[in-house]
Amino acid sequence: MKLIRFIIITGSWVGAFLAVGAFLGALPAGYLAEKIGRKYTTMSLAVPYLISWALIIFSNGAGMLYAGRLVIGIATGASCVVAPMFISEVAETSIRGALGAFFQLHLTVGILFVYAVGSYTHWVTLSILCAIFPVLLIVAMFIVPESPVYLVKKGRRIDAGVALKWFWGPNADTQSALQTIQSDLDAASGDAKVSDLFTNATNRAALFISLLLMFFQQFSGINAVIFYTAPIFQSAGSTMDPAVCSIVVGVVQVVMTLASSVLIDKAGRRILLLQSSFIMGACLIVLGVYFKMQNDKVDVSNIGWLPLASVVLFIISFSLGFGPIPWMMMGELCAPDIKGLASALAVMFNWTLVFLVTKSFGTMQELLGSDWTFWFFGAWMMVCTVYVFIKVPETKGKTNAQIQAILGGKK
């Protein structure tokens, strides 16, 4: 029992240190993105990624594993700031949502890769394979130009025009795009201070919506559901191999996040968020009812498929809405001068919640039972549905200036 408890505690902290590192990496990333640019900040993140995988590969105890997870968390938190910012600044308005969803899509592809390869190889082999990707990141970013918004901000309009033609194609109307970027920057207050996030009503609204979307993303219980997918299936009486369960969930995430990237610029952000919160809430409530019946010794053998169906539908709805959209809207809502700082704060908040939810989920199950734990998260999703319906603006097809006008109550 002591050995089992040690393994559980160690595994729990290995997961938690990622969130701690991500919290620490977010704010410096926002600062670096404004000082040296989005491109070179992204390239520099390959260094902590490589260090972290080296620590994990050559680990000789829990200490090195903790250190590796902490360092990779720092790089992950920084990536969560810079990548959505970069995407929102290089994407043409009509496809901004689709490209924004690609951030979450590649996260899910990475998760599926780890599920699939990790289930059938040694963890050292998996770590060596993962260490290849930071090297590919450096090579790829050598080819990609800097963000046109950053270049215009630094007075490099000619370079910004070249970058726009690389991103949008040789026939792009770069003069009009550059003028729009310049107008957005002129409307901003210059270099942002922390106080600007709270004293300016438009900035405050953008930050508040970004933070609440992150809050609801994590209080959907998504990380807890994914982390405890196999135990959920096992406690529900499923005979499916836990590794297969994880791979099935990973495949569903990838496919439906890809579907979201197609729908997001057609259906819009709000409708996808609304379906996501409502259906996830319903699935969590159903899971709670199932486990309540099981705890009360009710015969549930004829509905043993229900937990699997609920978890899969939960993952589908999350992947279509609250998976990609909060990250994407974080980049859309903020004005250029406060984007780096606001994004960093939103990411720090998000990873704080990841830590809290992941660490507390097991304790909640012990103290409250599985039924009330799922009902707790389900209740938050119902609150979320009301909030999105009342407060979250539609940003589909709108320029930054139009979004700022909506947030400022001018439209």
Query: Could you list the mean pLDDT of each consecutive 10-residue stretch along the chain, which spans 411 residues?
Result: 40 71 88 90 94 91 85 92 88 81 87 86 90 94 92 90 90 84 73 73 89 94 73 64 77 88 86 95 91 82 78 90 89 80 88 85 82 92 96 86 82 58
Give dist(CA 153, CA 278) in Å, integer.
41
Give dist(CA 149, CA 137) in Å, integer.
22
If one looks up domain 192-410 in CATH, what number appears? 1.20.1250.20
Give dist(CA 233, CA 248) in Å, integer.
12
How much is the pLDDT for 368?
86
Query: From residue 316, how far is each of 12, 148, 253, 307, 321 by CA, in Å?
Result: 26, 34, 6, 14, 9
Radius of gyration of the CA atoms of the chain, in A: 22
Give dist(CA 265, CA 244) in Å, integer.
33
How much is the pLDDT for 225?
75
Tokens linked to 170: 């040789």
What burial letters (b/e) apply to 66-77, b meaning 16+ CB within 10 Å? bbbbbbbbbbbb
The burial class, CB within 10 Å (0-12 / 13-18 / 19+), for 99 is: buried
The model scores a pTM over 0.85? no
Residue ranges of the domains in the chain? Answer: 192-410
Write down the H helix ranges in 91-131: 96-118, 123-130
Tokens linked to 135: 């090297």
Dihedral of CA 304/309/310/311: which sign? positive
How much is the pLDDT for 98?
82
Give dist(CA 224, CA 217) in Å, integer.
12
Contact assessment for residue 156 and residue 145, using Cβ atoms and an 8 Å cutoff: no
Query: From residue 331, how far is each of 29, 77, 89, 400 by CA, in Å?
Result: 14, 15, 8, 10
H/E stretch holding 60 reads none
